[in-house]
């Protein structure tokens, strides 16, 4: 279904777009354009900015009957701007649960592969301030730490390719207004309002929260402040890891001095050691915190202590060092005493 929503704010002017899109200059960007107002505004503003080369791709997840026609419309628009466009189809079997998460992973995997094929060096996504606010709310509900509350970053990595998000400071209304000013009809995806999806439920709750002062501006500001704190903590962790984290014969060792560091630095250093011992595994913060509490208590009592976390064995050595090594018989999501 195509919609021409009433604009609620001013369009993004060329001068403002030039500032927002400055991180794309000198790069070979691949624009991820879905047909919604956010990514269509990205396409129009980037195309008019004169940044070249510029590639465009649309991922057709095959979840709606209209998706192929919508992708074809984007191809016509990209061609009108003289930009190469590709339709990337998700043909894998669709999961019964966690569909949106699986679709997101498939989308970025397809975009990353296409970027390599065409020689693009980054993916550009049109996530905006409303998306950021919803992400922060979801992270709060999940009990995230500082890193999680920082939510989406202006630049992040998906695999080895950077993902740039130049519109995180803009409300969605201004991107809708930009499409309207350009005379573009955009896609209204009904899944964005489907209460079966967590993000859609949070979207519905935002008006009530905003009435209590927890609006998009404040949530986005919280994300910025959390990102600032996270950067400082990561630098402190870098310093501690240089001094205290070593590896020998596949065993990662945190020297006993790690227990003199603030707990947050201990947590982060231990997470790094686990990530190196068992790469690619998911580590929940709550489990990491539980392990650190047990390690600290065991050290104070002079008692042995061991855990398995995310495919790694963590053990307190008699010398007071923490030893981290791959688990011999890893089981997904395990955490047990050893």
Say yes or no: 35 and 78 in one domain. yes
The residue among 207, 222, 237 that closes a domain is 222
Say yes or no: 102 and 151 in one domain. yes
The residue among 175, 206, 222 that closes a domain is 222
Name the domain count of the chain: 2
Q: With a cut of 50, say whether residue 198 has pLDDT above it.
A: yes
87 within some domain: yes
Say yes or no: 205 and 57 in one domain. yes
Q: Quickly state the pLDDT bin for 190 (edges 50, 70, 90).
A: low
CATH number of the structural domain spanning residue 33 = 3.40.50.620
Say yes or no: 196 and 74 in one domain. yes
pLDDT for 193 equals 67
Say yes or no: 37 and 112 in one domain. yes
| pLDDT (tens digit per residue) in 51-73 | 999 999 999 987 777 888 999 99
Q: What are the residues whose beta carbons fall under 8 Å from the beta carbon of 260, sequence distance 6 or more?
A: none
Say yes or no: 218 and 258 in one domain. no
Say yes or no: 53 and 194 in one domain. yes
Q: With a cut of 50, say whether residue 4 has pLDDT above it.
A: no
**Nearest CA among 75, 3, 89 for reference residue 43:** 75
| pLDDT (tens digit per residue) in 208-260 | 888 888 999 999 999 999 999 999 999 999 999 999 999 999 999 999 999 99
DSSP string, 265-296: HHHHHHHHHHHHHSTT----HHHHHHHHHHHH
Say yes or no: 51 and 123 in one domain. yes
Q: What is the mean pLDDT of residues 144-164?
A: 95
Sheet holding 29-32, edge to edge: 85-89, 55-60, 29-32, 122-124, 161-164, 155-158
230 within some domain: no
pLDDT for 3 equals 43
Q: Quickly state the pLDDT bin for 89 (edges 50, 70, 90).
A: very high
255 within some domain: yes
Range of the domain at 260: 249-326
Say yes or no: 104 and 18 in one domain. yes
Say yes or no: 176 and 256 in one domain. no
239 within some domain: no
**Predicted TM-score of the model (pTM):** 0.86
Say yes or no: 130 and 261 in one domain. no
């Amino acid at each position: 279904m195509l919609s021409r929503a009433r604009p609620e704010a001013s369009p993004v002017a060329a001068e403002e777009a030039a500032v927002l899109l400055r991180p794309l200059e000198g790069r070979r960007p691949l624009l991820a354009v879905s047909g919604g107002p956010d990514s269509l505004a990205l396409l129009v503003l980037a195309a008019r900015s004169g940044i070249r080369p510029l590639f465009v791709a649309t991922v057709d997840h095959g979840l709606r009957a209209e998706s192929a026609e919508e992708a074809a419309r984007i191809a016509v628009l990209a061609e009108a701007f003289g930009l190469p466009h590709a339709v990337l189809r998700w043909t894998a079997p669709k999961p019964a649960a966690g569909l949106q998460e699986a679709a997101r992973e498939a989308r970025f995997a397809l975009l990353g592969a296409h970027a390599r094929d065409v020689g693009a060096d980054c993916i550009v996504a049109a996530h905006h301030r409303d998306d950021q606010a919803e992400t922060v709310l979801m992270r709060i509900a999940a009990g995230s730490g500082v890193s999680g509350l920082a939510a989406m970053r202006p630049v992040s990595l998906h695999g080895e390719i950077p993902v740039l998000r130049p519109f995180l400071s803009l409300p969605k209304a201004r991107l809708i207004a930009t499409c309207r000013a350009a005379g573009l009809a955009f896609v209204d995806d009904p899944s964005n309002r489907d209460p079966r999806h967590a993000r859609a439920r949070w979207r519905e709750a935002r008006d009530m929260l905003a009435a209590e002062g927890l609006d998009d501006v404040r949530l986005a500001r919280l994300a910025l402040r959390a990102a600032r704190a996270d950067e400082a903590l990561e630098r402190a962790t870098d310093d501690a890891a240089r001094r205290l984290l070593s590896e020998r014969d596949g065993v990662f060792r945190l020297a006993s001095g790690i227990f003199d560091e603030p707990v947050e630095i201990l947590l982060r250093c231990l997470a790094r050691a686990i990530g190196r011992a068992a790469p690619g595994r998911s580590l929940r913060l709550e489990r990491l915190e539980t392990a650190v509490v047990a390690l600290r208590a065991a050290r104070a009592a002079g008692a042995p202590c061991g855990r398995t976390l995310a495919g790694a064995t963590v053990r307190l050595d008699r010398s007071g060092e923490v030893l981290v090594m791959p688990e011999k018989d890893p089981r997904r999501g395990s955490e047990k005493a050893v």
